[in-house]
Amino acid sequence: MKKWVSYARLDPAVYSSHSLRRTKAAYIYEQTRNVEAVRELLGQSPISATSAYLNVGKRRALEIAKQLAM
């Protein structure tokens, strides 16, 4: 991972497989606004873990989850 980032002339200290996972999750959320789909793709159980990835407040994440349950 660090080698590929270096080839792209980016700072390897800033990028990791974890940061890419987070970026993809954020991109999917931006496109769909579906926290539940992102949670499933990340393989996470609690919605709060997914909301931390997305920088979505816990209250907002729970509101979204409640809407999806209907």
Q: Could you report the per-residue pLDDT of 5-51, keeping only the tens digit for each?
A: 888 888 888 877 766 667 777 788 888 888 888 888 888 777 777 77
- DSSP string across 1-58: -HHHHHHTT--TTT--HHHHHHHHHHHHHHHH--HHHHHHHHT-SSHHHHHHHHT--H
Q: pTM here?
A: 0.51
